[in-house]
Amino acid sequence: MNKPQSWEARADAYSLYGFTDLPSVASRGAVVLTHGEGPYVVDVNGRRYLDANSGLWNMVAGFDHKGLAEAAKAQYDRFPGYHAFFGRLSDQTVMLSEKLVEVSPFERGKVFYTNSGSEANDTMVKMLWFLHASEGKPERRKILTRWNAYHGVTVISASMTGKPYNEVFGLPLPGFIHLTCPHYWRYGTEGETEEQFTARLARELEDTILREGPDTIAGFFAEPVQGAGGVIPPSQGYFQAVLPILRKYGIPMIADEVITGFGRTGNTWGCLTYDFMPDAIISSKNLTAGLFPMGAVILGPDLTDRLQAAIDRIEEFPHGFTASGHPVGCAIALKAIDVVMNEGLAENVKRLAPRLEAGLRAIMDRSDHIGELRGVGFMWALEAVRDKATKTPFDSSLSVSERIANACTDLGLICRPLGQSIVLCPPFILTEAQMDEIFDKLERALKKVFAEVA
């Protein structure tokens, strides 16, 4: 067999693409990247793209942060790998757990490590099943999440994800229940105020708990802002309305902060931005600024005590991954937390978020086909509509958001199509000039595509 020559052909010949719009790749070829410079990535042909997606929301310090690479290298030189089984673990792992509890909103807690956000959600579900069974409630197994939630792709976390695409796998598994997505603009009914909408969703939660039986529910998981569902902040008062109901029925509330953690919303945690206290936090992505595959479950005081008691009863927690608490991952995470919190990155998000919002709002106001701007901090979505007044979407066969993303790529800007929205979640190091580059290229792409489809 002759080897195909171009990078694009070689990628096509040997790589399966996940979560990829294949017609776009078929007509345009894959973009094969070699390196990065600040928030830019560079392809094999030398083309630079401003990655307004931070890779996959995670490369918050950009693509060439020297201090992070040095921390990784130093740890590879010192102690390049270990596990966390059998009571043996690296000093970096000990230090990271201390740090994570210190920067968490909890007054005390404990941490468990995974290789990804999906595995962290799976781990949390297994922890809940384990502790409920240990407390004499083995029937507490059902998991509540919301439509448009994204919690991952492993069998449990995909069952938690509220997206119809998982039907091709025969998922969700039984016992994973999806509640209404708290997106008022799209799901509020005619004449319903935002307050009434939130109250309706809270009623739905309580009705669901009562219908299923409170003693059959293991936990409720929610992203503070739904990320891969299309950047959907909660409707006003949402968490304040659902938390008392969960407390009333003894249902733990888990905040999936894989995207929203470590500064993305303008505070260290999304739960601080939306003013609620979960029972545990799921972290990944920003945790290592994208330099190492790693996830963490951070338990608050109540779950820490209950899980510890359950573990003590059988003298073991039979769960863990070979690379749980990997010393290099932990060293990078320690450095990443320091970089984000102490080198002005979190500050930059806070300072520039209003400018980002204002620029995107101006683009929306100038366009006849952007129906909604939504987001917070450095995570935003613009939703394309055929008709602004009626919120009528474009026909899905037009692939409007994919066309916008492709037009952006042609201009040297990477942003992400999600449903009918175009999503921007730039690295935290973004400058004002780079932000202006985003505005300029995005608006040109929108104009081009809307002229084609309107």
Using CB under 6 A, which residues numbered 229 to 258 contact ligand PMP? Answer: 256, 258
Distance of CA 24 to the CA centre of its chain: 24
Using CB under 6 A, which residues numbered 298 to 317 contact ligand PMP? Answer: none
Q: Which two tokens stand for residue 263?
A: 């500064």
In sequence order, the β-bridge partners of residue 296 are 113, 283
Q: How far is the CB of 443 from ligand PMP (least distance, A)?
A: 27
158 binds ligand PMP (CB under 6 A): no
Q: State which residue, 261 or 371, has the beta carbon closest to ligand PMP.
A: 261
Using CB under 6 A, which residues numbered 5 to 24 contact ligand PMP? Answer: none
259 binds ligand PMP (CB under 6 A): yes
* b/e 291-308 (16+ beta carbons within 10 angstroms → b): bbbbbbbbbbeebbebbe
The torsion defined by the Cα of 16, 18, 383 and 161, in degrees rounded to 10, comes to 160
Sheet of 421-424: strand order equals 370-376, 379-384, 421-424, 416-418
265 binds ligand PMP (CB under 6 A): no
Residue range at the interface with ligand PMP (CB under 6 A); choices 93-101, 148-156, 209-217, 408-416: 148-156
In sequence order, the β-bridge partners of residue 221 are 254
Among 93, 104, 284, 304, binds ligand PMP (CB under 6 A): 284
Q: Which two tokens stand for residue 285?
A: 């992505």
Among 62, 152, 300, 375, binds ligand PMP (CB under 6 A): 152
Q: State which residue, 161 or 348, has the beta carbon closest to ligand PMP.
A: 161
CA separation, residue 432 to residues 16, 112, 407, 437 (Å): 37, 38, 22, 9
CA–CA distance, 177 with 272 (Å, rounded to integer):
26
Among 151, 178, 306, 374, binds ligand PMP (CB under 6 A): 151
Q: Which of 231, 415, 207 is nearest to 449 (CA)?
A: 415
CA–CA distance, 297 with 305 (Å, rounded to integer):
15
Among 112, 130, 150, 380, binds ligand PMP (CB under 6 A): 150
228 binds ligand PMP (CB under 6 A): yes
Q: State which residue, 109 or 162, has the beta carbon closest to ligand PMP.
A: 162
Q: Which of 402, 414, 425 is nearest to 48 (CA)?
A: 414
DSSP label at 86?
Answer: T
Using CB under 6 A, which residues numbered 109 to 128 contact ligand PMP? Answer: 116-118, 121
Q: How far is the CB of 161 from ligand PMP (least distance, A)?
A: 8
Among 223, 279, 372, 437, binds ligand PMP (CB under 6 A): 223
- Residue matched to tokens 């330099």: 291
Q: How far is the CB of 270 from ligand PMP (least distance, A)?
A: 10
Which residues are near ligand PMP by CB under 6 A? 116-118, 121, 150-152, 223, 227-228, 256, 258-259, 284
